[in-house]
Amino acid sequence: MRSLAFLLLLIAAPLVAQPALDIEPYRVAADRIIEAALADSAAFERLAEMVDAYPRRLSGSVMLEESIDWMLAEMSADGFENVRGEEVMVPHWVRGEESVTLIEPRREELAMLGIGNSVGTPPEGITAEVLVVGSFEELEARRTEAEGKIVLFNVPFTTYGETVQYRTRGANEAARYGAVASMLRSVGPVSLQTPHTGMLRYEEGLAQIPHAALTIEGAEFLQRLADRGERIVVTLKMEAQMLPDAVSRNAIGELVGREHPDEIVVIGGHIDSWDVGQGAMDDAGGVVVTWEAVRLLKALGLRPRRTIRVVGWTNEENGLAGGNAYRDAYADDLDNHILAAEIDGGVFAPLGLGVTASDAAFALVEPIGELMRPVLEEGAPGITRGGGGADIGPLMREGVPGAGFRVVGDTYFWYHHTEADTLDKLDANEVQRCVAAMAIFAYVVAEMPERLPR
C-alpha cells in the first residue's frame, strides 16, 4: 500500500516544482489588516452612502458622472495619490416608458423590463400573438409559426452563462424567423415578480426587433395559457432608444509604491450599473471594497514596494468601453502591470480569489490564501486556479495575470440587474471581511520581493 501511495504522489507532483512564497514575513501585516477591517463598518457605510446618493448609474446618465465626481473627491480626501478621471466615450441607451399588456385571453399588465441596447417600439406599441418556446431548438423546429409574432423564450435558469444567451441573442433568433418582437423569462433562479434587465447584441444582417424580459411568474403564466391551447396576444410598448455616445470616465486613485512605483497592481470594480435598483452588489460593492482595502493599507502605514492602483471602470454593463479604454491608455505600460484583480460577483462572505497566471506566478500567490483564512468562509478554498473579470479581460488577453474575487454567491442572481439589487441584501460584516481579504491579497502581491513572473 505504501509503495502505491508513493507512486501516486510521484504522478501527482508537478514535473518542475515551483517555489512557493514564504508567507511568514507578511503574517503580522495581514493580522493588522484583519483587525482594522473588522473594527468598524466603514466600508459598508461608504457603500451605503454611495448607493443611496447615486443609484441607477447607467452609462450616459448624470447619476453615473456624479458618482464618479464623488468617488474622485472622496479618494482625494482619503489622501490617495494621482487621483484622476480618465475620459472614455460610452454608449448612451435610455429606457423611457415601457410596458407589456396582455390583451387576449383577458387584459392584464405584466411586470417587465426592456433589455439594454434594445430598439423601441412605435408609440402605439406592437400588438401581436405570442409564440412560447422553451429553447432555441424549439424555435427552430416551430420556425414557420414565428412570422409576425412575438416570440417568448420561457427558459428556466441553469447557469448564468447558458441562460443569458436568451437575453443577449434571443432577439436575433426570433428576428431570423420573422418575429416582430421578442421576450424572455428573466435570467435568474428565483423571483418575487422581479424582472431582470441586461444587455443584448444585435447581429448584423438581421432586423433589429425590441426585446424585453418578463418575470419568471409572468413567463410561466403565459406558458400555461399556451399549454391549454389559448390564443395569447400582448401589446409591447418601449420608448427605448440609443442616443449619441457620451463622455464618461474611469475613476482612478493610487497608493504609490515605495521601491517600484512604476510597477502596478490594479484592483477594482465597475462604477456603472443598470438603471434599476441601486447597483449595490453589481458593482458598487466591488468598487468600494477595493477602494477601502487601499484606504486601510494607507491608514495602517503599509506602503508596499509596488503601486496599488484602484480603478472604478465605467460602462461594464452595456459596452465595456471603460475596460477597453484602460487597456488602450496603458498599451505601452502593460509589461509593468504585475496583476489585475476585479470584484464583480457580489460582496458576500469571501471565499478567496481565482487567479489566472503561469504556474510559477500561481505558486507564488497561492499561499496568500492562508493569510486570509481568518476572514474567509469556513472551508473556503482560498486562492484557486482560473478567474478574472469583464473589465480586466482586455488586460488579461494581453498577458497580464488576472484574478477574480470569489464570494458565497448563492443569492447573487436573485437580485442581479433588478430593482432589488439594493444595500439591504448585503451584510456589513461580510463586506468588511471582503475588504480584509482584498487588502491582504493586493498588499502581498505588491510587497513580495520579486515581481510576479508572467
Give the active site residues: 316
Buried b (16+ CB within 10 A) or exposed e, 245-254: bbebbbbbbb
Q: Collapse the DSSP code of 151 into the 3-class scheme (helix H, G, I; strand E, B; otherwise coil) and give the result.
A: strand
Q: Collapse the DSSP code of 362 into the 3-class scheme (helix H, G, I; strand E, B; otherwise coil) and give the result.
A: helix
Closest listed residue to residue 425, CA positions, set 305, 262, 205, 278: 278
Concatenated DSSP letters of 31-42: HHHHHHHHH--H
Residues forming contacts to Zn ion in the complex (CB under 5 A) are 282-283, 344
Q: Collapse the DSSP code of 393 into the 3-class scheme (helix H, G, I; strand E, B; otherwise coil) and give the result.
A: helix
Residue 367 CA to residue 382 CA, distance in Å, equals 9
Which run of H or of E encompasses 99?
A: strand 98-104
Min dist CB 252 to Zn ion, Å, is 18
Min dist CB 283 to Zn ion, Å, is 4
Nearer to Zn ion, 263 or 283 (CB): 283
Q: Is the dihedral of CA 65, 70, 73, 79 positive or negative?
A: negative
Nearer to Zn ion, 271 or 452 (CB): 271
Angle at 284 between CA 281 and CA 288, to 5 degrees: 115
Nearer to Zn ion, 283 or 430 (CB): 283
Nearer to Zn ion, 268 or 382 (CB): 268
Nearer to Zn ion, 173 or 344 (CB): 344
State the pairing for strand pair 350-356/382-385: parallel
Which run of H or of E encompasses 247?
A: strand 241-255
Q: Which three cell numbers stand for residue 155?
A: 427558459
Min dist CB 134 to Zn ion, Å, is 28
Nearer to Zn ion, 263 or 421 (CB): 421
State the pairing for strand pair 402-407/350-356: antiparallel
Nearer to Zn ion, 253 or 312 (CB): 312
Min dist CB 147 to Zn ion, Å, is 37
**Residue 242, strand partner residues:** 93
Residue 350 CA to residue 437 CA, distance in Å, equals 7
Q: Which three cell numbers stand for residue 202?
A: 444585435
Residue type, 454: R
Min dist CB 270 to Zn ion, Å, is 6
Min dist CB 282 to Zn ion, Å, is 4
Q: What 3 state SS string does 49-76 have?
A: HHHHHCCCCCCCCHHHHHHHHHHHHHHH
Q: 27-39 vs 428-447: helix axis angle to the nearest 10? A: 150
**Residue 182, strand partner residues:** 151, 211
Min dist CB 272 to Zn ion, Å, is 9
